[in-house]
Every structure is written in C-alpha cells, then in structure tokens.
Chains A and B, each alone.
Chain A
C-alpha cells in the first residue's frame, strides 16, 4: 500500500512541471509544516491541516484537524471518505488533491497535487477599478431618479393639489396644500392668512389674477375715477413703456388691474408707500389731457399744488345749509348763523379773561380762555366736534332767570317758543320778590340780570299786564340773551313768534385730503420755538385776529408749506401725495397713514347741522 504523489506546477511560460514521489504508508499528513507528508505552502493551510488514511481496501478517509475543514467533492466537511475505485477531489486551502481512480491490480493510490488558483487573480485585474466609477452608481440612474423626484414633488403634486381642492371652504385655508411649494415669497401681512389658499387669488390656471378676486373681500374700495377718464388721463407713453404694455398684454397681464400696483409675494411687509411719481405722472399736467377737469395740476406739494378748496357753508336754503368747495384764494365766508368774535374771547386782558379767572375753580380755566376750553376733539382726535351751547358756551353764557328753593330755572336753549312761554309764565305769577342772584357787582352776559333789567324797563314804560310781552321782545332784541349769539327771525307784527336761524358747522372741510390734528398739537415752524396749546392752534388758525364768525380760519397751502415740503425736501416734513390723499378716494384716513398708525375708528361725518329741536353731542 503506497501513495503516489504528483506535484504539478507551471513555469512562467505555461509549461507543466511534475514532481513525483512515492510514500509507503497508510497515513498521510497534510499541512504547511515541513514534517508533513504532503506539504502545502500556503498560509490558508494550517501547519497540520488534515490527514489521509486508508480505512479499507477501497476507501480512503479524509479528516481535518480540530476546528478546520476540508472540501471533499465540493462539500465542506471535517471528515469524509472517498471510494478509490472512483476517485475524488479534496480541496485544502488553494490546493486541489485529486485522488485518481485506482488502476486495476495496482495497490498505489495516485494523487495529483495542484494549486487551483494560480495567477487567476492577476489575470482578472481590471484597470477600470482605479476609476471612481467602480464604486459609484451610474450618473444616469442618479439623474433619472432625482429628476423624477423633483418633477413629482414640485410639478405634479402641486398641480394635482390645485385640481383636487374645493374652493371656498373655510377649513381649506388652514391645511397645507402642495401648491404652497410654489409660493414665490411671503404674502404681505394683511394677506398672511391666505398663504395656504393660493386659489383665493389664482382662480384659473394660466390666467392672471383678476380684480374680482380682490373685490371678493375688499368690497368697500372705491375706484380712483371713471375708468374711461382714467385711461384718457394717462400720460403719453414712451416707446419703451408701450413695448412693455404690449408684452404684458401678450401674456394676458391687462393694465389697470389691482395687482399692477398692489404687488404681492414681496415678503411679510406692509404695502409700501406709493411713490409720488405714481400720482404726478397724470396729475402734473392733467388739464392737458382732460380739458374739463376741475382739479388743479399737482406734482409736488412744495412746487405745484392748487390752493385748498375746503367745503364751506356758503349759504342757507331755508333750513338747509349749503356746502360748496371754494378755493381759499377767493376768501370764502362761512355762514354758520352764529355770532362769535374769536378775538374777543381769546383776549388775554379783557372781560372774558377776567371771567375765566373767576370761573377757573369751576371749569379749570387758566388766566384766559384757551381754544381747548370750548373746542372738544372727536374721539379719534383727528378733528373737533361742533361747539355745543350747554357744554361749551353755557359755562359763561348762562340762561338762568329764576331760583326756586335753590334750583335755578333756565330758558330752554334751542326752543324759542318755550322761552316765550316761560317768560310769560314768570310774569303771570304776579309780582315777585327780587331774586337773590341779582346784585353781583358785574353781571355775566345773558344772565338773569339782563332779563331783569329788560323787565324793569318794560315795567316802567307800560302797564303790568304788558310787562311779559315787553320782556320777551327784549330777550330777542339787541342786548337780549338770544340776540347776542344768534340770528333772530323777527316775530310777525302783533305776535311774539320769534325764531332763531339754525346753526351748523362743517366738521370736515377737506373732503379730498386728510388732516389729522393730533400730530399738530405741538408745532415748531423752522427757526421758531416749539409751541403747544392755543399758541399751536393759532399758528395755523388766526382766531386771535378774527372778530367775525364768518371768517374762515382754515390755513392755506402757504401756511402748510412752512413745514411740509415735497417728497424730498429740505423742510422738516417730507410730504408725498399719499400723506394726505388716498388713491381710492376713501373719505377716511389715507391708507398710508392707516398703515403707519394704529387703526382707529374712522370719523367720516362731514356736516352736522344743529337742528333747532336738538343739539347732538357725543363726547
């Protein structure tokens, strides 16, 4: 019994080299160790890796050392047997041990030993492995995958969301919709709630935002002017502007839409102030294109602005006050039907000032009357309420005529017939004790003293029965309490039916411009000290120099220009058109000021006629 070993190797040029040896033994040791019968020089082989042993005449057992394995005919195992009549292959590390089928009559078992992987790795080497492409996915798969992701997320999904949304539902504006991915910039603060509701404005795909979308919420907005006149008033466009218009129209952007001026998606800002150019484009020479316009040309407040045309109460049609816009240049007179000399009341040294000092404890007057003593601002502080007899005049101009048990009886203001009746009633009661209120060294105008004086005069001239009639006539005549302040309608002959002309004051003179008194409560004209109170009032309204209530004390443009310049100016206040005027002709605060200030209640009353029957007062 012997093993015939054939070591097969190959030279560099591929020639086979065979080294044979014969070992007469039943057991062969296989391993890297030099002591082994079959020495396999490879580190994949253990020093003592396995052993071959003839276990029967026809079978050879193969057993690996503890913890090692061999590969017998393709299956990895620790122990196995090979039929020598058929032969078999044992693989140890990279080596193949081929047991050849035993030849008839021979006792030798032939084993071919050969490295299985000679040079295989080197031949397979591929230079392209140096390139990064060897470990990267292809550029095309990357591109395709990402292209599909982007188109799906940013094109298909938003379009799907547009068509799948139902418009007009409240909860709709709350939830996220994929078309939000298209939001080109934050909406302005006023529209911030629409951020999830693109379809509120973008109603139809590929159709520009229409005014109807704006008007759905903004129901109160006025047009600037008649659309046809607006178009005619537009300045003659240059070639470039016409080209721009043509391009815009080609793309369905019609001129004159709300969004032309009110651009959106410009960030979370407030709508910015309209530049002056926007107005002056048309208004600097409006009469050139609109020959019939009644508006004066205006370009810049400092340079070109028509004189103010306040609404003035110019006359009365019966009981109805007639208000008309008149340029201050025409020096209009105001027909309020009230007699009131401002200068007399504001005089620092006269009787009025003296009375103010005397009544200061009761009414908080100072050394003289101030404007604010009689003029009460509207709740928003923008304008002033019409003066009121009982509250404002009545502090000094008392209508008291009798005191009964400490209660003072007064003539009823605004009710001439009641006045007549009260006086007659007073005298019908017969002779009376002289009232206590008489006897002060200096009487207050319109006070009971005057009435009493008139009564005494009448008593002296005529019989006691006619005393009452005389007193009534006296009250309504020069020197009487009513006559002092009011236009008295004479009584028809033989009657005592005196009348009083109604009184009215415009609360708002500038209907197309905005003036807020609050920022003007303290004034400082260039080069002059800062003034407040009555001084500030009088610096614009020359009440201290007016002795006639028909004087219209509205300041003119020149007065404003002491402080207010144009859009860019060296004067203290830069004043563009939008400071006083609103494009949409709203009667309230111009949008620009509204946005600058806290939104307050709009005070839109224009004229409050004081009716003879009532005197409205809402402090």
Chain B
C-alpha cells in the first residue's frame, strides 16, 4: 500500500504543471531573496573606510561571488542542451538561473559601492545589467505573449497564413484582368510584395509604412469613385479582395511581430553574455595589473 501511495504522489507531481518560475514553491526565489537581503545587511553593517568600494575585503568578496555567479549563469547555455529530471533537473537549473541572476543585480551593485565612471569596470557592470534586464524582459514576454501568439494566428499554422495570402493574390490576379495597364501596375505591386518585407525593426514595430497592398487599396478605392460600368464592377471586386488581403497580411505581420518581440531578447542576452565575460576578464586583469 505504501508503495502505491508513493507512486501516486509521483504521478501527481508529474501531472501538475509547475513552471520553472514556481519550481518547488519558489525555492530559488527564496534563496536569492535571502542571499540579497543578507548581503545588503552586511553592506550596511560593515564599516568600510573611507567608503564602500570594490577594493575593500567586502568588495573583493562580492566581486568574486559575482564573477563566479556570472560564469555559472552562463553555463545554462551548455546545460540546457541536456534535459534531465530530479533535483538538478533543467527546470531546477533554469529556476536558479533566473532568481540568482536577479540576485546578481544586488551582488554586483554592492560590489561597485555605487561608484561608477567611464571605465572598463562600469562597462562590465553595464553589460551585466543589460544581460539581466534582457533576461527579465524575456521572462516577462514569455509570460504574456505566447497566448497572443496563438490568438493572432486565428488557429492557423504559419504556412496556412501564407497560403491565405497567396490565394488572395491569385483571386486578385483574376479579378484585375479587366483593369487598365496603369491600374494593373499598381495592383501588381501588391501581388509581388513579400509579406515579411522589411528588417528586424519592421518586424518589432509591426509598422509597414510602404506596404504596396495598402497603397494599391488606397489607389483602387479612389479609382472606384471615377469608374463606371464594367470597369467599376471589376474595381469593386479588386478592392474587396485587396481589403481581405490587407487583413491576411495583418494577421501574418501581427504574428511575426509577436515572434520578434519574443525572440529579440536572446539577441541581447546571449551575445552580450559573452561580451560581458570579455569585459569581466578585462576588469579583473586591469585590477591586478594595476594592483
């Protein structure tokens, strides 16, 4: 019976979803908060003359702790490639990464003694803060954006969204055949347009000011007011289709924007981690070089 009870417990444990943030009832949050609190108290209690700085015994202790912590935090990049379970599961590791990474703000700031300047030391500190803040950003967008990500796709897959645009292109192609050469050239711009057009900034901002489809829609609408008869009927159809394409494009671009917002932090977090380590090496070497 006892055995069965244990099995059930394990089963329950496994069945209940627990994010890396909540791992073991916020175990690492508590540890990190406690460490930070102790260090702040130590900082306030210990009298360093003439003022707190990285060169006091407390400063060196905090600096050593911070540097080792940075290296360990960076190890997540290696560790994450091996998914394991248990006390040192990847989830536990990630949880510790997040909360100890936040505690690093306290450790490193106390290490500086609030002395900043235009030098390699503050450079290392600034890079570290960028890495930590980008990580915090990453966690917050992971918490908020994925829901909107599936909403924005209206239950469609990526290729389906593109297919929808392509289908509309074909329909516009057909409907626009009676149009004059000048008009068809404008509509053609829309057809030839890459839905993903634009670089990282376009994607992040979600603004496509030179969108050819929008330009075509605007032009065809104004043309609709002047046209008569068969032309008008064709134009009306084209305008309707262009409007539908605009919606389809908006769906693609909204999704692309959310993905970009979700992924951009890694382009700060990961490369700057290595830059930070380089700055850290320079920082440490400089201190001992001019000992």
Residues of A with C-beta under 8 A to B291: 202, 206-209, 251-253
Encoded as 1 (CB less than 8 Å from any B CB) or 0, chain A from 153 to 186 comes to 0110011001000000000000000011111111
Give bound CA distance, A581 to B152, whole Å. 77
B275–A150 contact, CB under 8 A?
A: yes
Give bound CA distance, A416 to B286, whole Å. 75
Query: How many residues belonging to A are interface residues under a CB distance threshold of 8 Å?
Result: 60
Query: How many residues belonging to B are interface residues under a CB distance threshold of 8 Å?
Result: 61
Give bound CA distance, A272 to B180, whole Å. 86
Identify which of residues 186-213 in chain B touch chain A, using a CB-to-CB cut-off of 8 Å.
187-188, 191, 196, 198-200, 203
A32–B177 contact, CB under 8 A?
A: yes
Instruction: Please judge, given known A-B contacts A158-B286, A183-B119, whether A133 and B184 are in contact too, CB under 8 Å.
Output: no
Residues of A with C-beta under 8 A to B270: 139, 143
Question: Which one of A41, A121, A184, A272 has the highest number of Cβ atoms from chain B below 10 Å of its Cβ?
Answer: A184
B177–A129 contact, CB under 8 A?
A: no
How far apart are A532's CB and chain B's nearest CB, in angstroms? 37
B267–A136 contact, CB under 8 A?
A: yes
A181–B120 contact, CB under 8 A?
A: yes
* Residue A193 interfacial (CB < 8 Å): no
B51–A266 contact, CB under 8 A?
A: yes
B287–A184 contact, CB under 8 A?
A: yes
Give bound CA distance, A186 to B122, whole Å. 13
Say which one of A42-50, A316-324, A353-361 lies at the interface with B: A42-50
Instruction: Please judge, given known A-B contacts A130-B255, A150-B275, A205-B289, whether A135 and B173 are in contact too, CB under 8 Å.
Output: no
Instruction: Please judge, given known A-B contacts A130-B158, A147-B275, A186-B117, whether A155 and B281 are in contact too, CB under 8 Å.
Output: yes
B117–A183 contact, CB under 8 A?
A: yes
* Residue B237 interfacial (CB < 8 Å): no
B181–A46 contact, CB under 8 A?
A: yes
Encoded as 1 (CB less than 8 Å from any A CB) or 0, chain B from 18 to 53 comes to 000000000000000000000000000000011101
* Residue A263 interfacial (CB < 8 Å): yes
Instruction: Please judge, given known A-B contacts A41-B174, A132-B259, A158-B286, whether A47 and B181 are in contact too, CB under 8 Å.
Output: yes
B176–A43 contact, CB under 8 A?
A: yes
Encoded as 1 (CB less than 8 Å from any A CB) or 0, chain B from 89 to 113 comes to 0000000000000000000000000
Residues of B with C-beta under 8 A to A205: 289-290
* Residue A217 interfacial (CB < 8 Å): no
* Residue A436 interfacial (CB < 8 Å): no
CB nearest to A207 among chain B residues: B291
How far apart are B262's CB and chain A's nearest CB, in angstroms? 8
Encoded as 1 (CB less than 8 Å from any B CB) or 0, chain A from 111 to 141 comes to 0000000000110010101111111100110
Give bound CA distance, A140 to B266, whole Å. 11
CB nearest to B57 among chain A residues: A244
Give bound CA distance, A207 to B290, whole Å. 7
Instruction: Please judge, given known A-B contacts A136-B200, A252-B291, whether A147 and B179 are in contact too, CB under 8 Å.
Output: no
B272–A146 contact, CB under 8 A?
A: yes
A154–B123 contact, CB under 8 A?
A: yes
Residues of B with C-beta under 8 A to A267: 51, 115
* Residue B250 interfacial (CB < 8 Å): no
B259–A43 contact, CB under 8 A?
A: no
Residues of B with C-beta under 8 A to A237: none
Residues of B with C-beta under 8 A to A143: 270-275
* Residue B288 interfacial (CB < 8 Å): yes
How far apart are B133's CB and chain A's nearest CB, in angstroms? 17
Question: Which one of B180, B255, B272, B290 has the highest number of Cβ atoms from chain A below 10 Å of its Cβ?
Answer: B290
Give bound CA distance, A266 to B117, whole Å. 11
CB nearest to A67 among chain B residues: B181
Question: Which one of B185, B199, B259, B282 has the highest number of Cβ atoms from chain A below 10 Å of its Cβ?
Answer: B282
Say which one of B7-15, B80-88, B140-148, B159-167 lies at the interface with A: B159-167
Residues of B with C-beta under 8 A to A44: 188
* Residue B151 interfacial (CB < 8 Å): no
Residues of A with C-beta under 8 A to B121: 182, 184
Residues of A with C-beta under 8 A to B185: 43
Give bound CA distance, A253 to B57, whole Å. 12
Residues of B with C-beta under 8 A to A136: 200, 267
A43–B188 contact, CB under 8 A?
A: yes
Give bound CA distance, A436 to B252, whole Å. 126
Instruction: Please judge, given known A-B contacts A122-B163, A267-B115, A272-B50, whether A206 and B120 are in contact too, CB under 8 Å.
Output: no
B180–A47 contact, CB under 8 A?
A: yes
CB nearest to A244 among chain B residues: B57
* Residue B247 interfacial (CB < 8 Å): no
Give bound CA distance, A52 to B159, whole Å. 41
B289–A162 contact, CB under 8 A?
A: yes
Give the contacting residue for A159; candidates B259, B264, B289; CB below 8 A: B289
Residues of B with C-beta under 8 A to A209: 291
Encoded as 1 (CB less than 8 Å from any A CB) or 0, chain B from 249 to 263 comes to 000000110011001
Residues of A with C-beta under 8 A to B282: 150-151, 154-155
Residues of B with C-beta under 8 A to A252: 291
* Residue B54 interfacial (CB < 8 Å): yes
CB nearest to A155 among chain B residues: B282
How far apart are A121's CB and chain B's nearest CB, in angstroms? 7
CB nearest to B202 among chain A residues: A135
Give bound CA distance, A275 to B47, whole Å. 12
Give the contacting residue for B53; candidates A131, A185, A186, A269; CB below 8 A: A185
Give bound CA distance, A569 to B177, whole Å. 99
* Residue A198 interfacial (CB < 8 Å): yes
Encoded as 1 (CB less than 8 Å from any A CB) or 0, chain B from 209 to 240 comes to 00000000000000000000000000000000
B163–A132 contact, CB under 8 A?
A: no
Residues of B with C-beta under 8 A to A140: 271
Give bound CA distance, A269 to B50, whole Å. 11
Residues of A with C-beta under 8 A to B179: 43
* Residue B285 interfacial (CB < 8 Å): yes
Question: Which one of B185, B264, B288 has the highest number of Cβ atoms from chain A below 10 Å of its Cβ?
Answer: B288
How far apart are B189's CB and chain A's nearest CB, in angstroms? 10
Give bound CA distance, A251 to B281, whole Å. 18
A139–B255 contact, CB under 8 A?
A: no
A132–B263 contact, CB under 8 A?
A: yes
Give bound CA distance, A198 to B123, whole Å. 19
CB nearest to A129 among chain B residues: B196
Give bound CA distance, A131 to B256, whole Å. 7
* Residue B279 interfacial (CB < 8 Å): yes
B123–A150 contact, CB under 8 A?
A: yes
Instruction: Please judge, given known A-B contacts A46-B181, A155-B281, A155-B285, whether A139 and B271 are in contact too, CB under 8 Å.
Output: yes
How far apart are A133's CB and chain B's nearest CB, in angstroms? 7
* Residue A618 interfacial (CB < 8 Å): no
A121–B166 contact, CB under 8 A?
A: yes
CB nearest to A122 among chain B residues: B166
Give bound CA distance, A179 to B289, whole Å. 10
Question: Which one of B57, B119, B196 has the highest number of Cβ atoms from chain A below 10 Å of its Cβ?
Answer: B119
CB nearest to B163 among chain A residues: A122
Residues of B with C-beta under 8 A to A227: none
Residues of A with C-beta under 8 A to B75: none
How far apart are A147's CB and chain B's nearest CB, in angstroms? 4
Give bound CA distance, A285 to B166, whole Å. 93
How far apart are B141's CB and chain A's nearest CB, in angstroms? 12
Give the contacting residue for B289; candidates A43, A206, A269; CB below 8 A: A206
B263–A125 contact, CB under 8 A?
A: no
Give the contacting residue for A182; candidates B120, B188, B199; CB below 8 A: B120
Residues of A with C-beta under 8 A to B188: 43-44
Give bound CA distance, A121 to B272, whole Å. 37
Residues of A with C-beta under 8 A to B290: 179, 182, 198, 202, 205
Give bound CA distance, A158 to B279, whole Å. 13
* Residue A460 interfacial (CB < 8 Å): no
Give bound CA distance, A185 to B166, whole Å. 62
Q: Given known contacts A46-B181, A132-B203, A265-B53, what 10 new A-B pairs fall within 8 Å (CB)?
A: A43-B179, A43-B185, A43-B188, A132-B259, A132-B264, A134-B196, A150-B278, A155-B120, A205-B290, A275-B49
Contacts A/B (CB < 8 Å), 5 sampled:
A43-B176, A133-B263, A146-B278, A182-B120, A267-B115
Closest 5 CB pairs of A and B: A143-B271, A182-B286, A142-B271, A155-B282, A132-B263
